[in-house]
């Protein structure tokens, strides 16, 4: 299927550009590019009047809605030397103009050319940014109203002259948006921060989870520390009845709330089933048209991508990728984003659909994992594969001191710890004789508990081994008994789900080269079926840490010239050596023979087999006879995701460039190392093991690359992480969570009411409001300006105009003299010049001094309704009625 996308158009450039030194703080669209500090990970520029201006580091994470930004991320960890590309983003604010967007694209194109096309490009739209974008900003991003202030300061260091309301969405990637200072902005399912400079009040919606409250508080504390130097005081409203003082301050700012709160907008998250729907298109020219020809759907293979061509990959409308071969025409590469946007428009996708442009040899981890396999180009280092590391002689000391080695080898030690094995028999847990620990049957399930010491501490791994012919009831019983054991060991067990035939390296090592998997039974079939008299075993391995024997169908087609096989008959055993096997394989096979059978042994070399050998197998038949090629090193990098569920489906949010700090006690996190899936359960989520294991299975089922469902799944609890898990993190502090306070402890202990909150509450209590206000009818007119919290030491709390002209309408600066609210007839206020007004009347707020009944008669609405209107609408009505 092919169809024209759009007329061919190119972006032309008249100069070659390079990164050059630049001492000025801004650059014009026609100037050279600014210098890049290679020792700094994040560089951000704002587009102002078609110029790029650097954003100071202290302001990173703040984005004005009327602007566009360019963001460059250069990895600083050792991963940067292992083939991790830089990332270049252009960000579009929801109120940004077309010219600013065009300038951002132009600047990014020039950066990309200067960086040598080894950079992943991203198009980001406000509120719909990629996980990669959000991963740069801890603890979150702030969307600020309007444009950059006229003094060109992106953010002030002392922000005490401030009144704003932030709507916080406390997902794994936190965002906060400036909204109108009104109860109308609130809802039941989110968090809101009333920021008054030296007083910050976090209001938690009644439907927010404890993890959302904790994340919201993390952002609030970060704002306090970064913008106020830690000098502001934080109050938290959990239940409005339980925090009367804080609610008084909020009501003085926002007025008394009328009616009930609305529900939060439902989260529109893309589940894994939707992301699994991928289609690959070939992009090419036909005359003056650009044509996209659909090539295939999942699973994709890397050889589909040709180095001289361009391809578009549509991930179910969730994200659009453009891949460009290194021999693809340079001029055409510049049109990548316009082509992606043309495709998005043609498909009817939202204009905020994320776009990622990758070059041959500089692909992102997310792009690579859309393919079944991925091999890095020669000369490019790998991360995440085992490759030649599996040939290294194991050293326990190195495995304990170098967790990154343990992680890549998938070995916590060399397997010399204590081993206990239970067989699930008649749905009960039956201990096995140590002499038969390595004898497993394909129609049963087993629990294998491994105990070892690491740096003097006892550690546990519980393997749940599932035979291919095990029944559903036996699998359920296996999980139930695993839970019982975990309770017995007080939740300290790392649980690994192992499927027959996909045993991880450490599982093989604990049996010291004596693992045998029988089809059906070991000889005495407990299910009443006689064991076969002729059995064939495939023996694989070169040492006691990686050898296993698996029973296979007793026929010639099961043989392979690269391996060793043992044929067991009623009278004799034939040890068959394939012509391509080596001496280590033969030596381990000789040791394995006595484990499987005590019959007399005969050696049969490939091509010199006795007649009885072929007769036992039912005659000769073709089998693989070429030397097996070495297993290719994986080119996939580990990826970390937060797990949640919506409408019964798994929702994942990726944390790119992850670290230990991204693991939160309320989270369930999924770490995909390609060879294993780790599910990390935070302390507060440890009871959700069954849910986590199910998510691991759903992740494999829905993976676009068509992953094997037999991939081992490992459940890890906070505080009990094995080195095979911690080794994937750049640094790991085993004591990080020793004295970690819970959210409740932080709120109850650290955030007690301080002097600023106490003074604000006292001023609200002591302030004498007018009769109409004392009747609980205060609306947005009763706003507080905390003048004392700005640059004064007096800490006065006055009723007066607000600091922000973007907020709701201000109230009079005083209620002194004869002009008290609701006490003047309309004749003294309507169409009166300022000098003719009664003493004490604010000429900008004449309507405020009307009685409630006069106000209703003249304006046709109550004061509450009037002051909840937009400011420009208020001004319009006042002009019409003679109160302006």
14 vs 778: CA distance, rounded Å:
63
DSSP 746: I
Question: Quick one: which of 664, 733, 646, 660 has its CA closest to 217?
Answer: 664
pLDDT band at 766 (very low <50, low <70, confident <90, very high): low
- The tens digit of pLDDT for each residue in 608-647 reads 999 999 999 999 999 999 888 776 666 789 999 999 988 8
Question: Quick one: which of 768, 752, 816, 759 has its CA closest to 793?
Answer: 759
**Domains 2-10+271-368 and 761-881 alike in fold:** no
Residue 848 φ/ψ, nearest 5 degrees: -65, -25
Helix (H, G, I), strand (E, B) or coil at 864: helix
More confident site: 378 or 41:
41
- The tens digit of pLDDT for each residue in 771-782 reads 334 444 444 333
- The tens digit of pLDDT for each residue in 201-225 reads 999 999 999 999 999 999 999 999 8
Assigned token pair, 323: 């891949």
Domain ranges of the chain: 2-10+271-368, 532-624, 761-881
pLDDT at site 454: 86
Question: Quick one: which of 692, 693, 690, 709 has its CA closest to 701?
Answer: 709
pLDDT at site 789: 40
pLDDT at site 282: 95
Q: Please, are residues 112 and 88 in contact by the beta-carbon 8 Å criterion? A: yes
- 94 pLDDT exceeds 70? yes
223 vs 166: CA distance, rounded Å:
11
The string of DSSP letters for 865-883 reads HHHTS-HHHHHHHHHHHT-
Q: CATH number of the domain at 532-624, out of 3.40.20.10, 3.40.50.150, 3.40.47.10, 3.65.10.10?
A: 3.40.20.10
The string of DSSP letters for 225-271 reads HHHSTT-SEEEEESSGGG-HHHHHHHHHHH----SPPBPPPPP-PPP
Percent of the chain with pLDDT over 90: 54
Q: Please, are residues 610 and 623 in contact by the beta-carbon 8 Å criterion? A: no
pLDDT at site 493: 97
Q: What is the mean pLDDT of residues 858-869?
A: 81
- Among 238-252, 493-507, 626-640, 810-824, the minimum mean pLDDT is found in 810-824
End-to-end, the C-alpha distance of the chain in Å comes to 66
Q: How far is CA 213 from CA 78, 207, 454, 645, 646, in A?
A: 34, 10, 36, 18, 19
Q: Please, are residues 163 and 803 in contact by the beta-carbon 8 Å criterion? A: yes
876 vs 881: CA distance, rounded Å:
9
Question: b/e string for 236-271 if b means 16 or more Cβ within 10 A?
Answer: bbbeeeebebbbbbbbbbbbeeeeeeeeeeeeeebb
More confident site: 681 or 811:
681
Topology, domain 761-881: Villin Headpiece Domain; Chain A (1.10.950)
pLDDT at site 82: 54
What lies within 8 Å, CB to CB, of 253 at 6+ separation is: 163, 181, 194, 196, 782, 783, 784
- The tens digit of pLDDT for each residue in 686-718 reads 888 889 999 999 999 999 999 999 999 999 999
pLDDT at site 594: 87
Q: For the structural domain made of 2-10+271-368, what CATH number should be given?
A: 3.40.20.10
Q: What is the mean pLDDT of residues 248-277?
A: 86
- Among 7-21, 170-184, 254-268, 815-829, the minimum mean pLDDT is found in 7-21
pLDDT band at 834 (very low <50, low <70, confident <90, very high): confident
- 387 pLDDT exceeds 60? no
Question: Which residues are 4's β-sheet partners?
Answer: 291
Q: Which secondary structure element, helix H or strand E, spans residue 404, and what is its range? A: helix 403-409
Q: How far is CA 487 from CA 687, 699, 847, in A?
A: 11, 27, 69
Q: What predicted TM-score, i.e. pTM, was given to this entire model?
A: 0.81
Q: Residue 517, Cα to own-chain centre: how many angstroms?
A: 39
703 vs 695: CA distance, rounded Å:
12
Between helix 852-859 and helix 871-881 the angle, nearest 10°, is 90
Question: b/e string for 385-408 if b means 16 or more Cβ within 10 A?
Answer: bbeeebeeebebeebbeebebbbb
Assigned token pair, 632: 């290719």
Q: How far is CA 484 from CA 84, 478, 481, in A?
A: 43, 10, 5
622 vs 624: CA distance, rounded Å:
7
46 vs 56: CA distance, rounded Å:
10
More confident site: 745 or 154:
745
More confident site: 147 or 79:
147
- On the CB side of 393, how many CA atoms lie within 13 Å of its CA? 0
Q: Write down the mean pLDDT value for the chain.
A: 83
pLDDT at site 159: 60
pLDDT at site 114: 82
pLDDT band at 28 (very low <50, low <70, confident <90, very high): low
Helix (H, G, I), strand (E, B) or coil at 817: coil
- 486 pLDDT exceeds 90? yes
- 787 pLDDT exceeds 50? no
- 535 pLDDT exceeds 80? yes
Q: What is the mean pLDDT of residues 89-110?
A: 92
């Amino acid at each position: 299927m092919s169809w024209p996308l759009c007329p061919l158009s190119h972006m032309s450039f008249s100069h070659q550009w390079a990164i050059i030194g630049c001492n000025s703080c801004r650059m014009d669209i026609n100037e050279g590019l600014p210098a890049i500090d290679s020792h700094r990970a994040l560089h951000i520029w704002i587009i102002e009047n078609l110029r790029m201006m650097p954003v100071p580091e202290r302001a990173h994470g703040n984005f004005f809605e009327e602007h566009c930004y360019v963001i460059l991320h250069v990895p600083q960890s050792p991963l940067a030397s292992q083939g991790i590309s830089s990332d270049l983003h252009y960000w579009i604010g929801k109120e940004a103009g077309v010219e600013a967007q065009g300038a951002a694209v132009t600047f990014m194109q020039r950066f990309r050319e200067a960086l040598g096309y080894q950079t992943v490009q991203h198009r980001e739209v406000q509120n719909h940014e990629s996980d990669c974008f959000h991963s740069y900003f801890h603890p979150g991003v702030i969307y600020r109203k309007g444009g950059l202030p006229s003094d060109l300061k992106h953010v002030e260091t002392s922000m005490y002259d401030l009144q704003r309301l932030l709507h916080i969405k406390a997902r794994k990637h936190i965002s906060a948006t400036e909204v109108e200072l009104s109860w109308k902005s609130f809802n039941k399912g989110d968090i809101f921060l009333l920021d008054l400079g030296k007083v910050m009040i976090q209001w938690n919606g009644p439907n927010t989870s404890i993890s959302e409250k904790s994340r919201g508080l993390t952002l609030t504390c970060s704002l306090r520390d970064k913008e106020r130097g830690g000098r502001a005081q934080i109050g938290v409203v959990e239940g409005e009845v339980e925090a009367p003082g804080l609610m008084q301050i909020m009501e003085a700012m926002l007025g008394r709330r009328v009616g009930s709160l609305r529900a939060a907008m439902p989260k529109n998250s893309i589940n894994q089933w939707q992301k699994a729907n991928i289609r690959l298109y070939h992009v090419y020219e036909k005359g003056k048209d650009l044509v996209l020809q659909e090539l295939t759907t999942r699973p994709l293979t890397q050889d589909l991508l040709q180095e001289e061509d361009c391809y578009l990959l549509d991930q179910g409308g969730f994200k659009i990728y453009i891949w460009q071969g290194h021999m693809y025409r340079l001029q055409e590469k510049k049109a990548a984003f316009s082509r992606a946007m043309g495709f998005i428009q043609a498909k009817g996708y939202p204009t905020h659909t994320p776009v990622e442009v990758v070059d041959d040899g500089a692909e992102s981890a997310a792009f690579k994992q859309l393919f079944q396999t991925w091999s890095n180009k020669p000369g490019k280092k790998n991360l995440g594969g085992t490759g030649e590391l599996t040939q290294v002689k194991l050293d326990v000391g190195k495995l304990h001191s170098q967790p990154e080695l343990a992680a890549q080898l998938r070995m916590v030690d060399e397997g010399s710890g204590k081993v206990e094995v239970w067989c699930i028999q008649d749905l009960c847990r039956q201990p096995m004789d140590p002499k038969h620990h390595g004898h497993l049957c394909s129609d049963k399930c087993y629990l294998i508990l491994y105990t070892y010491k690491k740096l003097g501490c006892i550690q546990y791994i519980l393997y749940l081994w599932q035979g291919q012919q095990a029944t559903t009831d036996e699998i359920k019983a296996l999980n139930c008994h695993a839970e019982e054991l975990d309770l017995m060991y007080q939740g300290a067990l790392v649980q690994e789900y192992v499927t027959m035939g996909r045993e991880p390296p450490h599982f093989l090592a604990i049996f010291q080269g004596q693992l045998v998997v029988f089809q059906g039974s070991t000889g005495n079939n407990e299910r009443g079926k006689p064991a076969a008299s002729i059995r064939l075993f495939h023996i694989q391995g070169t040492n006691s840490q990686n050898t296993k024997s698996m029973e296979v169908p007793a026929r010639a087609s099961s043989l392979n010239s690269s391996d060793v096989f043992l044929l067991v008959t009623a009278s004799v055993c034939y040890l068959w050596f394939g012509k391509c096997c080596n001496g280590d394989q033969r030596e381990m096979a000789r040791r394995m023979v006595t484990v499987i059978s005590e019959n007399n042994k005969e050696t049969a070399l490939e091509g010199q087999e006795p007649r009885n050998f072929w007769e036992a197998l039912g005659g000769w038949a073709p089998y693989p006879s070429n030397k097996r090629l070495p297993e290719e090193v994986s080119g996939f990098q580990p990826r970390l995701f937060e797990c949640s569920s919506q409408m019964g489906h798994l929702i994942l949010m990726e944390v790119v460039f992850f670290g230990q700090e991204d693991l939160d006690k309320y989270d369930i996190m999924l770490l995909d190392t390609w060879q294993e899936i780790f599910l990390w359960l935070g302390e507060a989520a440890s009871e959700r093991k069954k849910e986590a294991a199910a998510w691991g299975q759903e992740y494999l089922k829905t993976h676009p690359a068509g992953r094997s469902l037999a991939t081992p799944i490992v459940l890890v609890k906070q505080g009990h992480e094995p080195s095979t898990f911690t080794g994937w993190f750049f640094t790991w502090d085993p004591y990080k969570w020793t004295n970690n306070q819970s959210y409740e402890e932080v709120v109850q202990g650290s955030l007690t009411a301080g002097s600023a909150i106490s003074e604000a509450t006292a001023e609200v209590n002591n302030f004498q409001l007018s009769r109409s206000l004392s009747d609980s009818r205060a609306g947005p007119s009763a706003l507080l300006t905390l003048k004392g919290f700005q640059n004064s030491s007096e800490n006065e709390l006055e009723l007066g105009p607000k600091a922000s002209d973007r907020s709701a309408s201000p109230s009079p600066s005083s209620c002194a003299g004869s002009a008290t609210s609701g006490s003047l007839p309309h004749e003294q206020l309507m169409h009166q010049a300022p000098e003719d007004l009664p003493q004490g009347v604010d000429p900008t707020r004449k309507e405020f001094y009307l009685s409630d009944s006069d106000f209703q008669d003249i304006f046709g609405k109550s004061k509450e309704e009037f002051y909840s209107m937009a400011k420009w609408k208020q001004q319009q009505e006042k002009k019409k009625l003679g109160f302006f």
